[in-house]
A and B are shown apart, each in its own frame.
Chain A
Amino acid sequence: MSDVKTDAPADAAPEPPKKTTLSITVDGRAHEAQPGQLVIDACEDAGTYVPRFCYHHRMNPVGMCRQCLVEVEGPRGPMMVVSCMTPVAEGQVVRTETPGVKRAQEGVLEMLLANHPLDCPVCDKGGECPLQDQAFSHGPGESRYVEEKRHYEKPIPISDLVLLDRERCILCDRCTRFADEVAGDKLIHFISRGNATQVNTFPDEPFASYFSGNTVQICPVGALTATPYRFKARPWDLTQVESTCTTCAVGCRIVVQGSRDQLLRYQGVDSDPVNWGWLCDRGRFNFEAVNSDQRLGTPLVREQGELRPTGWSEALARAAQLIREAVDAGGPGSVAVLGGARGTNEDAFAWARLAHDVIGTPHVSAQLGDGMPVGLLALNRATIDEAASASTIVLLGPDLKEELPVLYLRLRDAAEKRRSRILEFTPKPGGMTRYAWKSIGYEPGTQVGAVHAALANDEIAQQLGAGNVVIVAGRANLAETSAAQVAALGELLAAVPGAKVLPALRRGNVVGAVQLGMRPGKDGMDSRAALAAAADGTVECLILVGSDPLSDVPDADLARRAMAGARRIIAVDALPSPSTALADVVLAAAAFAEKSGTTTNLEGRVTTVGQKVTARHTARPDWMIAAQLAAALGTDLGLESEADVLAAMAELNDSYAEISAAALAAAPDGVLAHVPTTLDPINPPTVAVPDRNSYDFRLVVSRKLYDAAVGTAHSPSLAHLAGGATIHIHPADLDRVGAADGDSVKVTSKRASGVFQATSDTTVLRGTAWVPFNQPGGTVGELIDATAPVTDIRIENL
């Protein structure tokens, strides 16, 4: 366009694209490797598997087992190196099949087998054992070891769930590295030296990690076995289906394995955007609940005060009749539907259709007064990857280690690898506190002020202004309303407008349920209001879709009055709960792994859920129950199969427009649903929190990983891990009360008073008291008033 020289670059020949890969040669074949890659991975990409035991691509290499020795051409001729510790370099020549390499690999394998008991016929790992497999593929064929082998007592429990057979152990450091690097629970370690080296726990301190099951999965031999699976099956008898764990909302990818129509094991699948192959123990082992003999297999109807089994036609007719009666008595608004977050997207969608379109009630809620306003899901949503790569992660929610354990692993990794700084606001220091750049403790109700003060701090303001910010937002305390938490979130978003939000909601498919319509409609009541209406009789009929208000609603009294006040209760559930026991009709639902479909995790990632076993007796999926109930109420939803529901979802819900069976089949890690545009964003309220009387303590109630929830309570391996419901108080405060650790104290709130055992706990902030929620035998819910902004309690020594 002009002859001015400075415009020349536009016409100049384009620069050749800069090469972003490194050219290496593997066994004579040219290969382009990624910079920073290790030789062992580059070889695998190039089609050559290098045997290994200690190397695991999600953990730091240690080069200990020495099995992955290969020859690399170096400046001083070929060098034998461990490929798991050697980075690729331009022009590198790698040889994995020379006589020298073969000799070295066979030598190492012979030594690994020297002390290994070779009890493969009775070993759970036999058939899926890396040692067995690689002994065949890369071993010398026979052993020349004739000396006596190492002997240890076998096996020893290292935790409630994991057993260790030290004779089988090849000391690869995988479990110990996992405990240290990944889980942050450095409770297992090598002890002794040389040939006597063994993995063990500290004396009297078990490997009590929420993530212990992962060590069993990554053990390359049968040294670590998990009690729920031990001696249950041989690997070649297992069949499996890929699925997504719906225990919490992280949505870890798993394979569900079973044999003879019985669930036997879940294994983590390495989904890069989500769980990296890790699972928490609760998610891994709660398949036992599906196998429970307490399962509801047939519908129940109440007759003369007793629930009796019946057929589906009668049960559905009774349910439809109850709904009709309620609608006749008080209009559609006298029906409230609570739940739906435990099932699949299909279940939630069908139930939302039934509630909103067939029954016509706006009173629908997937949360039970223990979550956040649904507007949280209308905010600019972050993915887990975005959170784990943000320069600042702001935690304004629950203790992730307790509620969303694998998200905790991902964010802990981000902090440990120095990618991100964690700014934590918490009423009770928890699992993430030790990894936080700054942890700001606040007294419940004062989080707005805490955020305000933090934003005024130059260092924090600078950090928040320096790069991507992701706010992980959720409910940190069940003994206060969500108002102050929402206001604090609003404060943060106003100060950091570019921040993205990762909702820290807990129930498996709560995000999917809300996005698919299990939320209040126009003028609809949320769960707390609906329960209050049930208590005073305005709501005539409560429909509980996989929800148990008596266990899950923080305000125990409200839940009890609601269940007593509602004249008609329909419960859809797979396991009996305190709430199903009060229902008039119980519709037996298919449990996890008994139905297929899709689920949505907290990022909005839609993944498949697979069916592995047939449903118990005549139990059926929630969506089918919804469709049949709609039919009994005279409306055909047109939903005959999961595929129908999925198609209807895509058609009717903009967020799910791109979700289809084909799209999911093409993307094993799932497809992100769009952030809903029809939701109103949160509206930061102004909160009036009363000052705390200096004689009082402000109550913090939050969940532990193991509690009395049905999935845990019906898993024998997990049920006993739920701890006691003692009241935790800072030792100085305990002293002030005149009590000692273990004493019984009288706790009085405006609502009620009760006797608790006191636990001295330095992590509890002064002036506050912490009680874990919904523990077996726990009564903390009695103290909570769901309408009060905070709960202040008086503690007296008995």
Chain B
Amino acid sequence: MSDATVPPTPPDYTQPGRVPTGPKLITTRFDQPDGYTYDGYVRTGGYTALRKALTEMTPEQVHQEVKTSEMQGRGGAGFPAGTKWGFLPPDVFPRYLVINGDESEPGTYKDRKLMELDPHQLIEGVVIAAYAVRAAQAFLYVRGEMALAQERLAQALNDAYAHNLIGRNILGTDFSVDVVLTWGAGAYIVGEETALIESLEGERGMPRLKPPYFPASKGLYLQPTIVNNVETLSNVPWIVNQSGQAFHDLGAPTSTGMRIFAVSGHVNHPGVFEVPNGITTFRMLFDAPEYCGGVRDGRSVKAFIPGGASAMWFFDEHLDLPLDKPTIDKAGSMLGSGAIVVMDDTTDMVAACWNVVNFFSRESCGKCTPCREGTTWLQRILKRILAGDGRPEDIDLLMDVSESISPGIAWPPRQTTICPLGPSAVSPIASAVRRFRHEFEHYIQHGRAVDGVVTPPIHGVHGGARIHV
């Protein structure tokens, strides 16, 4: 990306109509006041896909449509959903469908919106998916803190049951499935699919070691289980109605369909945006009035996290990368769950780094040593640096402890841990230390941040918000 040649001047996206927008697939009801109700959903074409799937299509045909769409899972790993469904061993029953609504990555709130504003769309997708994979039962696992989402989903489930859209002999067909709503107890790690399964089984939400516990073969109650993200399944009704090919035709060939991004941080209009995959660039997303409407106060982007707190950070040279999985992977980070966090040039990078590491250290489940001990160790070193007690060797120590968690500190990360949570805490450190080492050194030498950045108040560190001008 950083060739020696002079980069072409990026186009100005600040005028309306300069960015490609696409059709809305799954956010159509976000502005509809009663979009979350049964009536509002049915009035706008709801449950037609379910009827079509159950009465006109075989499970194999539904599966084929999803395969044709090449829709990548929206939970973070970006694995094609149709392929995942194909991993179920053919003759093992019962099998289960689990919907991962435990969205808890900092900055990620797209699934919450989908569950709050369009719960029936999700339920329709769930029942269609259950039909396609012949699941005996579906479990909707919703993050504990999302009270409104739970409430609306519960109401939607009751309404759907009342209208024979879930339950026995759905719509008069032979197909029956129950959808159970469960909610978590507030643990980030339960977003990891095997930890979610443990939690569903009533155990502590701790990841299982893969192998042998790949959910498709040994998942919930050690039966074959498909775990899909909320956004993934919310797309399924559209695919069934409009065909997989229609979905495939949207976006880029390498990242099909529309995709929701949740942008937060130092932009004028943070929010959830459905954008054409692979065509939009970060700069378009940040600057266009249709989307975020520019960085606040007209400042410049110092860094941004392209795909959730566990991703490697990007900087201004990455602004013109398209939102396309293979491209972002190649550039050394990920689109992950679609949470983009923008940091402008007043951001204290040491504090930002601590903020993310602190999150992971608190959310570590405590199962494996490098994550349990390592993330906390990193957090304490960073906090000590922020408090002005840093030592020159601390910067190398940060990198070396990171090395113990994620050998090589490379992307995609290698890990000495069971699940990727430990290496997630390494991403901000590797990103910040490599790019902004001088900010760390300044803290260590002078006991305060470099001039011109704002340090937020941090519990346990003396002082509060301090502006160094």
Residues of A within 8 A of B (CB): 62-67, 69, 80, 82, 85, 100, 103-104, 107-108, 110-112, 114-115, 144-145, 147-148, 170-171, 189-190, 192-197
Is B253 interfacial (CB 8 A cutoff)?
A: no
- Contacting residue for A100 out of B369, B375, B407, CB 8 A: B407
Q: Count residues of chain B with CB under 8 A from any CB of chain A.
A: 34
Q: Are B370 and A66 in contact (CB under 8 A)?
A: yes
Once the chains are docked, how many angstroms separate the CA of A196 from the CA of B375? Answer: 12
Closest to B365 in A: A193
Q: List 5 A-B contacts (CB under 8 A).
A: A107-B370, A111-B372, A193-B363, A194-B362, A195-B372
- Contacting residue for B366 out of A66, A111, A192, CB 8 A: A192
- Contacting residue for B404 out of A62, A111, A192, A196, CB 8 A: A111
Q: Can you name 12 extra interface pairs (CB under 8 A) apart from A64-B369, A197-B366?
A: A65-B369, A66-B369, A69-B416, A85-B211, A103-B403, A104-B407, A108-B404, A144-B400, A147-B384, A193-B362, A194-B376, A195-B373
Q: Are A195 and B361 in contact (CB under 8 A)?
A: yes
Quote the shortest CB–CB distance from B185 to chain A (angstroms). Answer: 10
Q: Are A171 and B209 in contact (CB under 8 A)?
A: no
Q: B364-397 toward A: CB 8 Å interface, digit per residue (1/0)? A: 1111111011111100110010000000000001
Contacts of A67 in B (CB 8 A): 369
- Contacting residue for A62 out of B209, B363, B374, CB 8 A: B209
Is B14 interfacial (CB 8 A cutoff)?
A: no
Closest to A191 in B: B204
Is B414 interfacial (CB 8 A cutoff)?
A: yes
- Contacting residue for A194 out of B209, B361, B400, B404, CB 8 A: B361
Q: Are B377 and A111 in contact (CB under 8 A)?
A: yes
**Given that A66-B370, A112-B373 are contacting pairs, would A190 and B416 also be in contact in the complex, using a CB cutoff of 8 Å?**
no
Contacts of B418 in A (CB 8 A): 63-64, 66
Contacts of B404 in A (CB 8 A): 103-104, 107-108, 110-111
Q: Are A194 and B365 in contact (CB under 8 A)?
A: yes
Q: Are A147 and B366 in contact (CB under 8 A)?
A: no
Within 8 A of A (CB), among B328-377: 361-370, 372-377
Once the chains are docked, how many angstroms separate the CA of A65 from the CA of B376? Answer: 16
Is B417 interfacial (CB 8 A cutoff)?
A: yes
Closest to B381 in A: A147
Q: Are A190 and B370 in contact (CB under 8 A)?
A: no
Q: Are B364 and A194 in contact (CB under 8 A)?
A: yes
Contacts of A115 in B (CB 8 A): 373
Q: Are B376 and A80 in contact (CB under 8 A)?
A: no
Closest to A65 in B: B369
Residues of B within 8 A of A (CB): 187, 204, 209, 211, 361-370, 372-377, 380-381, 384, 397, 400-401, 403-405, 407, 414, 416-418
3 tightest A-B CB contacts, nearest first = A107-B404, A197-B366, A111-B373
Once the chains are docked, how many angstroms separate the CA of A65 from the CA of B369? Answer: 5
Contacts of A147 in B (CB 8 A): 377, 380-381, 384
- Contacting residue for B370 out of A62, A108, A195, A196, CB 8 A: A108
Q: Are B397 and A144 in contact (CB under 8 A)?
A: yes
Once the chains are docked, how many angstroms separate the CA of A335 from the CA of B68? Answer: 94
The CB with the most chain B CB atoms within 10 A, among A103, A193, A194, A195, is that of: A194
Contacts of A190 in B (CB 8 A): 204, 366
Q: Are B414 and A197 in contact (CB under 8 A)?
A: no
**Given that A100-B407, A190-B204 are contacting pairs, would A64 and B367 also be in contact in the complex, using a CB cutoff of 8 Å?**
yes
Q: Are A145 and B377 in contact (CB under 8 A)?
A: yes
Once the chains are docked, how many angstroms separate the CA of A144 from the CA of B401? Answer: 10
Once the chains are docked, how many angstroms separate the CA of A103 from the CA of B204? Answer: 31
Once the chains are docked, how many angstroms separate the CA of A434 from the CA of B461? Answer: 54
Closest to A106 in B: B404
Contacts of B414 in A (CB 8 A): 80
Q: Are A197 and B407 in contact (CB under 8 A)?
A: no
Once the chains are docked, how many angstroms separate the CA of A82 from the CA of B209? Answer: 10
Once the chains are docked, how many angstroms separate the CA of A145 from the CA of B384? Answer: 12
**Given that A144-B397, A145-B377, A147-B380 are contacting pairs, would A194 and B407 also be in contact in the complex, using a CB cutoff of 8 Å?**
no
Q: Are B368 and A65 in contact (CB under 8 A)?
A: yes
Q: Are A194 and B372 in contact (CB under 8 A)?
A: yes
Q: Are A66 and B373 in contact (CB under 8 A)?
A: no
Closest to A85 in B: B209
Once the chains are docked, how many angstroms separate the CA of A65 from the CA of B418? Answer: 10
Contacts of B374 in A (CB 8 A): 111
The CB with the most chain A CB atoms within 10 A, among B209, B361, B364, is that of: B209
**Given that A63-B209, A100-B407 are contacting pairs, would A111 and B370 also be in contact in the complex, using a CB cutoff of 8 Å?**
yes
Contacts of B364 in A (CB 8 A): 193-195
Closest to A110 in B: B404
Q: Are A171 and B372 in contact (CB under 8 A)?
A: yes
Once the chains are docked, how many angstroms separate the CA of A147 from the CA of B378? Answer: 10
Closest to A190 in B: B204
**Given that A147-B380, A194-B361 are contacting pairs, would A107 and B416 also be in contact in the complex, using a CB cutoff of 8 Å?**
yes
Q: Are B366 and A193 in contact (CB under 8 A)?
A: yes
Q: Are B366 and A194 in contact (CB under 8 A)?
A: yes
Contacts of A114 in B (CB 8 A): 373, 377
Contacts of B403 in A (CB 8 A): 103, 107
The CB with the most chain B CB atoms within 10 A, among A65, A67, A197, is that of: A197
Quote the shortest CB–CB distance from A425 to chain B (angstroms). Answer: 31
Once the chains are docked, how many angstroms separate the CA of A111 from the CA of B372? Answer: 9
**Given that A114-B377, A145-B377 are contacting pairs, would A104 and B384 also be in contact in the complex, using a CB cutoff of 8 Å?**
no
Quote the shortest CB–CB distance from A562 to chain B (angstroms). Answer: 56
Once the chains are docked, how many angstroms separate the CA of A207 from the CA of B209? Answer: 28
Quote the shortest CB–CB distance from B150 to chain A (angstroms). Answer: 22
Contacts of A107 in B (CB 8 A): 370, 401, 403-405, 416
Contacts of B405 in A (CB 8 A): 107
The CB with the most chain A CB atoms within 10 A, among B209, B365, B416, is that of: B416
Contacts of B377 in A (CB 8 A): 111, 114, 145, 147
The CB with the most chain B CB atoms within 10 A, among A110, A111, A148, A190, is that of: A111
Q: Are B407 and A103 in contact (CB under 8 A)?
A: yes
Quote the shortest CB–CB distance from B405 to chain A (angstroms). Answer: 8
Quote the shortest CB–CB distance from A202 to chain B (angstroms). Answer: 13
Contacts of B367 in A (CB 8 A): 64
Quote the shortest CB–CB distance from B259 to chain A (angstroms). Answer: 29
Once the chains are docked, how many angstroms separate the CA of A647 from the CA of B336? Answer: 76
Contacts of A66 in B (CB 8 A): 368-370, 416-418
Quote the shortest CB–CB distance from B461 to chain A (angstroms). Answer: 14
Once the chains are docked, how many angstroms separate the CA of A65 from the CA of B372? Answer: 10
Once the chains are docked, how many angstroms separate the CA of A189 from the CA of B404? Answer: 27
- Contacting residue for B416 out of A108, A170, A189, CB 8 A: A108
Q: Are A194 and B416 in contact (CB under 8 A)?
A: no
Contacts of B365 in A (CB 8 A): 193-194, 197
Closest to A198 in B: B366
Once the chains are docked, how many angstroms separate the CA of A171 from the CA of B414? Answer: 23
Q: Are B187 and A193 in contact (CB under 8 A)?
A: yes
Contacts of B366 in A (CB 8 A): 171, 190, 192-197
Contacts of B417 in A (CB 8 A): 66
Quote the shortest CB–CB distance from A252 to chain B (angstroms). Answer: 31
Closest to A173 in B: B367
Once the chains are docked, how many angstroms separate the CA of A190 from the CA of B198? Answer: 14
Closest to B418 in A: A63
Quote the shortest CB–CB distance from A107 to chain B (angstroms). Answer: 3
Contacts of A80 in B (CB 8 A): 407, 414, 416
Once the chains are docked, how many angstroms separate the CA of A227 from the CA of B418? Answer: 35
Closest to A196 in B: B366
Quote the shortest CB–CB distance from B399 to chain A (angstroms). Answer: 12
Contacts of A170 in B (CB 8 A): 369
Once the chains are docked, how many angstroms separate the CA of A111 from the CA of B211? Answer: 25
